Amino acid sequence: MAVAKWSTSVVSALSSDTEPTILITFDNAKYVFNAGENTGRAWMQSRSYWKKVKAVFFTQVGTQRMSGMPGLLMFMADGGASDLHLVGPQGLTHTLAALRLYTYRQSMAVTPLEVKSISPPTGQTKPKPTYTDENITVYSIPLFPEVDEDGCALPSESHTSSSSKRKRRASSASPPRRSTDEGFSTETKKLPLADRMRLNGFLPTNLVGKDAEQWREMIIMGMFPATKSKLEKNRDKEVDADPPYLSASRRHPGSFNPAGSAKQLPRMNFTKDSTPITLHQKPSLAYIILGPKTRGKFDAKKADELGLKGKLRGLVASGNSVTFTTKNAAGQDIERTVRPEECVGQGDNPAVIIVLDVPTVAHIPAVISAFTKSDFYARFRSRKLEDRTEYLTNVVYHLCGPDVIEDSRYQAFMRGFNPIVNHLVSSRDHCPDPVTFTNFAFNQLQFNRLDPDIFPIPQFSLKALRPLEDLVDKFDFESGMGSAAPRLPPKTYVMAAGMNTGVRPLLPPKVWDSGEKFHPAAKELAAICEANMAKRAIGSPVPTREVKRVKEIDVKGLEFDQKILSPAAFRKFEEARATVKATSTGRIGPHGRLVGGDHVRVIPLGTSSALPSKYRNVSGYLIRIPNHGSILLEAGEGTWGQMCRFFGTDHDKPDNVWEVLRDIKTIFVSHGHGDHHFGLSKILAMRKQLDPPPTEPLFLVTLHSIILGLKELSDVEDLGLDYVPRMSGVIPVFSFPLAHTQPEDKRGDSYRAMCKSLGLKSLTTVEVRHRTQAFGVVIDHQDGWRIVFSGDTLPTEVLAEVGKGAKLLIHEATMADDQVEMAEMKAHSTVGQAIEIGRKMNAEKILLTHFSARYPKMPPSILDQNWTPSQPLTALFQSSTPSSPSASPISALPDEPRGSATPPISLSPTTSTTTPEPKPKPKEKRRKEPIIGLAFDHMNIMLKDFWKLRAYLPAMEQAFGKDEEDEDEASQEKMGE
């Protein structure tokens, strides 16, 4: 029998935009450990596949380890997965059920399994495995933190945390709530839950105990109907053909709406050994993964001597003893029993991988106790030869919170393992922060050479704040000598994305070389920029001795551009820069002041529809209003990571992500599709960690279903939801009462407080045409400007009417103009339709976004236009009549701001025209077309500079180009828009 080969790898590491995700791979199956934000997108970046994933294990409930779960489930279902197990601590099913109103897949069975929230075994008690199949056997260990009388984690005994925050009082444990079945008779209360669900007056909200657990399981079966079919086969008995939780009477294709699903889930109460505990006391999990025990080589010669023939050989080779009749040397019939060890060599014992999640120093005692007080678990950390021959621990993953890895107790625990064990450590202060999505970052670096203000380079660091190698014992294997004061074992490594460790055969950790271009190019550019800074410091006039060095720096910049750009793109970049430089006059209002919202900035954080790609994240747009605050439009998965990459996480630098997060006053989510709000809970969780806490509330404008889901998720993690405007929590404001059809004086105190905080005159929602209830929004500021956001929608005339005269329209343009029928079917807009809405709105500027994953870089309708740089800017304003719907929407795009006093300037500095432009007919009015731009992730555009986007478009088009990877990615449509 062939030896089972298997390995473990790191899909994503700890960084600004990802959390650690671990993968164990066999030829026939894969197993995932944790799914933090951006796990699906990181997997796409790694060029790996998820079709063979059998189970996903979580070490914690909450956004840190699970916020990527919804997106990953969709990826797996649409990638062909048919049966998936989910394993995690208490709260797993509650978290999954909280996604019910916007997560549904017909074909994939999902079986959740919660690990019992009990203290680990001690002594000789052998625990039962949590999960087992033909490849692995998994044991789980709950790790409860030590807490004080207030329920707060105790600090390290060895030192005071260098990064500790102000101590906050923990929330008290909520007592179990009584059932709302109080009006039912005693006999009725004894009925099974499935029967009580049919009765009038039934409410699931306050179910407790086993009833609550059963309700959540029913909800999950409704989300993934194939789960019910799987259970029926396993139970091999008849069940209700149409149970109430799968009622089709209130459902339509592609949705999930069982009876009672709109009501809040039963309250989630955490326990330890059946005793209620607070959120701060909930456990993390450690996992011990045992691989298969491999049998030794079958000795065919010995089998012949023993008389084994035919099928008997196979039985013995498979580990079975057999008894059969054979003849002895004298030719007499005798009965013989052959045991496997008589003709099968010694096999290899199971290899072991351990995953330890230690979020705080308060969890360290639980880790040490589990591996010292349990005889069974102690074997996996033992240095004894007999334990090593029984279980071969090869890899230990350490997911460490602040100060854990520098705690002397934890360092001693790590040194207790056999020296040959590989330790892979994830610790924020001790790991570098390289860019995860390097394809996007390299394109952004190219665009940065067009305009460093509009296209800033993502924030990253290749150096850790406190390098892990400084803590590692420098062991000399030749001399057998180690460090004078050893701290961490010699084989301790930083856990890095793409790191692969062979388990069988045993291979050391090695990071896969992706051949990415961004980090080397960024390093080279940083050196050039540093030299440029020194050049500017020389002053003017430049001393003669410095002239040569200045010229060398300029040459290096040009050489760098030629290195990262194709010759055609380099020429386009040169033309675009010259054009913008020549045109950048007369762009501001009287007396040099910015007027009418020109100072407002728009930062797209995600511009893809439904699916993220290597170049675009899903929806998110930050509107920054100087001296007032910010509005976040949509919060798809990964929005927080995009903010971290854009603003940086360094507390000491101005305008860092923590300051920006504190500055956000309103979040608007248009509708319930996951690509618009799966990242919302992560943002709220990070806001809750701000220290000192915010002094003003955050207003969340969205649908009831999204608020309901957040309220339920707050049972497993404090998201800061509040309902009092004077407080600093998250204040829900429902979308419908803010609709243009509703009276403004009925909008309530929260609405008025929200407008006051941002200096708004009004914030009005407009119901738009989509596959589910969805709203656009019209934002009117007291300074006289208006911004309109469409959300996901078919062309909606009422949005054009309510948004009349907008300074900026941000409109989805999911499909190309040759896909009108598909856009209609998916309830989206084409590029041309979006522009036409902007024309009817008389919008000054239109930002197109939400592009289909079919176009990972540029929408084809933009790439295919025949516009040339020699066309005069003002010629684009000469259209006297509205374009017909069939006309190309890009053929009349303007590149001048409205009302500019600047004379006509060619987009090519070398081109001049001698033929005067024809004058318009006397009876025709000159129409000013809107300025149209394409949204790109991490673009930073001040509205006064919006015109530059059109001037840069030919160069960006040329830089993007197409390659085989793009074609492959565009073909992988795992989810519908």
Q: What is the dihedral of CA 726, 732, 734, 739, to 10 degrees?
A: 50
Confidence band, pLDDT 50/70/90 cuts, at residue 866: very low
**Hey, CA dihedral for 535, 537, 541, 543, is it positive or negative?**
negative
The predicted structure's pLDDT at residue 346? 67
Say if residues 200 and 193 touch (Cβ distance below 8 Å): no
Lowest mean pLDDT among 202-211, 236-245, 318-327, 713-722: 236-245
Structural tokens at position 228 = 């019910």
Higher confidence at residue 959 or residue 657? 657
Q: Which of 456, 447, 673 is nearest to 573 (CA)?
A: 447
Is residue 883 scored above 60 in pLDDT?
no
Phi and psi of 705, rounded to 5°?
Answer: -60, -35
Say if residues 483 and 414 touch (Cβ distance below 8 Å): no
Determine the Cα–Cα distance for residues 866 and 289; give it in Å rounded to an integer: 59
Determine the Cα–Cα distance for residues 830 and 140; give it in Å rounded to an integer: 50
| Alpha helix (H) residue ranges in 789-927 | 797-802, 820-826, 831-841, 860-863
Q: Which of 289, 352, 292 is nearest to 139 (CA)?
A: 289
Strands (E) located in 769-807: 774-781, 786-789
Higher confidence at residue 37 or residue 867? 37
Bridge partners of 493?
Answer: 424
Whole-number Cα distances in Å, 419 to 132, 415, 422:
28, 8, 8
Determine the Cα–Cα distance for residues 895 and 946; give it in Å rounded to an integer: 9
The predicted structure's pLDDT at residue 344? 76
Q: Residue 503: enclosing H or E segment and its boundaries?
A: strand 499-504
Confidence band, pLDDT 50/70/90 cuts, at residue 78: confident
Q: What is the mean pLDDT of residues 152-171?
A: 47
Say if residues 846 and 933 touch (Cβ distance below 8 Å): yes
Q: What is the mean pLDDT of residues 491-519?
A: 93
Bridge partners of 290?
Answer: 137, 352
Burial environment of residue 968 by CB neighbours within 10 A (0 to 12, 13 to 18, 19 or more): exposed
Lowest mean pLDDT among 19-33, 70-84, 708-722: 70-84
Amino acid 381 reads: R
The predicted structure's pLDDT at residue 475? 55
Confidence band, pLDDT 50/70/90 cuts, at residue 169: very low
Model pLDDT for residues 2-33, shown as the tens digit of each residue: 567 999 999 999 999 999 999 999 999 999 99
Bridge partners of 778?
Answer: 764, 788
What region does 442 belong to: left with phi over 0, alpha with psi -120 to 50, or beta?
alpha
The predicted structure's pLDDT at residue 268? 94
The predicted structure's pLDDT at residue 141? 98
Can you count the helices (H) and strands (E) in the chain?
A: 29, 32
Model pLDDT for residues 440-449, shown as the tens digit of each residue: 999 999 999 9
Is residue 837 scored above 80 in pLDDT?
yes
Percent helix, percent strand, percent coil in the chain, to nearest 5: 30, 20, 50
Confidence band, pLDDT 50/70/90 cuts, at residue 307: confident
Q: What is the mean pLDDT of residues 53-63?
A: 97
Confidence band, pLDDT 50/70/90 cuts, at residue 55: very high
Lowest mean pLDDT among 235-249, 365-379, 772-786: 235-249
Is residue 766 scored above 90 in pLDDT?
yes
The predicted structure's pLDDT at residue 164? 40
Higher confidence at residue 814 or residue 960? 814
Is residue 920 scored above 70 in pLDDT?
no
Q: What is the mean pLDDT of residues 703-727?
A: 89
Is residue 265 scored above 80 in pLDDT?
yes
Phi and psi of 829, rounded to 5°?
Answer: -110, 150
- In what side-by-side order are the strands of the sheet with 620-625? 730-734, 698-702, 664-668, 629-633, 620-625, 601-606, 941-942
Model pLDDT for residues 339-355, shown as the tens digit of each residue: 887 787 766 789 999 99
Higher confidence at residue 742 or residue 536? 742
Model pLDDT for residues 192-215, shown as the tens digit of each residue: 887 888 777 788 888 889 999 999
The predicted structure's pLDDT at residue 349? 81
Is residue 526 scored above 60 in pLDDT?
yes
Confidence band, pLDDT 50/70/90 cuts, at residue 820: very high
First to last CA, the chain: 47
The predicted structure's pLDDT at residue 481? 52
Is residue 473 scored above 90 in pLDDT?
no
Say if residues 930 and 877 touch (Cβ distance below 8 Å): no
The predicted structure's pLDDT at residue 893? 34
The predicted structure's pLDDT at residue 254? 38
Q: What is the mean pLDDT of residues 586-590?
A: 46
Amino acid 108 reads: M
Is residue 549 scored above 60 in pLDDT?
no
Rg, Å, the chain Cα set = 32
The predicted structure's pLDDT at residue 556? 81
Confidence band, pLDDT 50/70/90 cuts, at residue 869: very low
